[in-house]
Amino acid sequence: MQIKIKNLSYTYLSKTPNEVEALHNVSLEIPEKKITAIIGHTGSGKSTLIQTLNGLILPSNGEVEVGEFKVTPNKRKNKNIKELRKHLAIVFQFPEYQLFEETVEKDVAFGLKNYGVKEVEAIELAHKALAEVGIDESFYKRSPFELSGGEKRRVAIAGIIALNPDILVLDEPTAGLDPLGSDIILKLIKKFNQEGKTIILVTHDMNIVLNHSDHVIVLNNGEVSFEGTPNSLFTKDVSAYSIEVPELFKFALSLKEKGLDIDISKIKTIDDLLVQLKERR
């Protein structure tokens, strides 16, 4: 499912003295079956943008096209929004705060039941989704509140995955997790992508952008200020966007400046750098 955003604007508290324009005339295409990172500092419009994708927020102007679905300023024109939300699902920041059921399996099945799936089948699909995120049977009957932070987050993601969306949007999926927990979540995201899902990640972690994304969109004051590959972004002067270039990338750039022949576009991990260094020795 292709996402096309056309001239999208959104104003909070419109027509009041406190109105704030969060998005201004944004036009974008988000590539299908790729991992796209949306970055930008706090208040740049990232959260507003992702919420318009499945109509949680309706545009003030412009429109969003997701496959055959449309999100426009006019509520009556937006047919099948509920159906759209099944295809494009959002995992919000700290999703574990939204867990509420008595048991892990019931929590994961909740979304499905809202879509009219019968209890028995919903629980079955919940078990499948939990297996996808690496949560085994021993957890099914436990209270979600007694799990660790990383486990809770995986359960919350399972609740979304159970709906089997084509497009998965994740807002800061690794915030607050320890390195091991983050690694598990990132591997899951990669797996979902390999299974054919389009992934949209909102993140502040530039290492994730460099290592895990195919495409980057930078938002600044509600406008798109960059679109392209992570490597081309970090080669640019990014000081204006309050982005921290990953240490690895900075180091590779400094080697290039010192005259070493390094192909910057191929560097995503420290291994990539070492391969090139070895070749040149």
Partner 1 sequence: MKCVSINHLTYSYVKDKPVVKDFSLEINKGEYVSLVGHNGCGKSTLARLLVGLLVPESGSVEICGLELNNKTINQIRQKVAIVFQNPDNQFIGATVEDDIAFSLENMNVPREEMIPLVKEFAKKVGMSEFLTKEPGYLSGGQKQRVAIADSLVRRPELLILDEATSMLDPSGKREILSLVRKMREENPDLTVISITHDIEEAYLTDRIVLMHEGEMILSCTPKELFNNVDTISKYNLEVPFEIELKKRIADLGISISEDDTLDSIGEKLCK
Smallest distance, partner 1 to C-beta of residue 81, A: 28
Candidates 140, 181, 221, 238; binder of partner 1 (CB under 8 A) is: 181
> Which of the residues 190 through 209 are near partner 1 (CB under 8 A)?
204, 206
Residue 39's SS3 state is strand
Q: What does the alpha-carbon distance between residue 13 and residue 157 come to, in Å, rounded to a whole number?
A: 31
Alpha helices in 171-269 (DSSP H): 179-194, 206-212, 230-235, 247-257
Query: Residue 54, Cβ neighbours under 10 Å: how many?
Result: 23
Query: Does 260 engage in binding with partner 1 (CB under 8 A)?
Result: yes
Using CB under 8 A, count the residues that bind partner 1. 31
The window from 2-10, 81-89, 228-236, 241-249 that contacts partner 1 (CB under 8 A) reads 241-249
Q: Which is nearer to partner 1, 229 or 242 (CB)?
A: 242
Candidates 28, 56, 238, 255; binder of partner 1 (CB under 8 A) is: 255
Candidates 100, 102, 115, 175; binder of partner 1 (CB under 8 A) is: 175
Note whether 41 and 29 are within 8 A (CB): no
Note whether 6 and 73 are within 8 A (CB): no
Query: Residue 210, Cβ neighbours under 10 Å: how many?
Result: 21
Q: What is the dihedral sign for C-alpha 22, 24, 30, 36? A: negative
Query: Does 269 engage in binding with partner 1 (CB under 8 A)?
Result: no
Query: Does 180 engage in binding with partner 1 (CB under 8 A)?
Result: yes
> Considering just the CA atoms, what is the radius of gyration of the chain in Å?
20
Binding site for partner 1 (CB under 8 A): 41-43, 148-150, 175-181, 204, 206, 242-244, 247-248, 251, 254-255, 258-260, 270, 274, 277-278, 281
